[in-house]
Structure 1
Amino acid sequence: YNVADYAKQRRKMLQDWADMVDSYKEKYKLPE
C-alpha cells in the first residue's frame, strides 16, 4: 500500500470528476 501512488490516483480521479461536472454545467447551463 503506497500512499503516494494512492494520492496520485485519487487526485487524477477527482480532476476527471471535476472536468466532467464542468462539462455538464456547460452543456445544461446549470446555475452555480
Structure 2
Amino acid sequence: MSKSSGRTPCTSEVAKRQHQASRLLTSSVYPQ
C-alpha cells in the first residue's frame, strides 16, 4: 500500500475503525 494522499495516516487503523463501526451497526440491527 502506497500513500497516495496524506489524508489517511494509517490504512489499517482506518479499516479497523470502519470494521468496528459496521459491526456496531450490524449488532444494533440484528441483536444477538
Q: TM-score range by the shorter chain?
A: 0.5 to 0.7
Q: So what's the TM-score if we normalise by structure 2?
A: 0.66
- Map of 1:29 onto structure 2: 31
Mark the runs of 5 or more structure 1 residues left unpaired by the alignment: none
For residues 1-32 of structure 1, what are the alpha-carbon distances to aligned partners after superposition, in whole Å with 9 as ceiling and x for unaligned? 77xxxx710000000000000000000012xx
How many equivalent residue pairs? 26
- RMSD, matched Cα: 2.1
Identity %: 4
From the two aligned structures, give the one with the greater helix fraction.
Answer: 1
Mark the runs of 5 or more structure 2 residues left unpaired by the alignment: 3-8
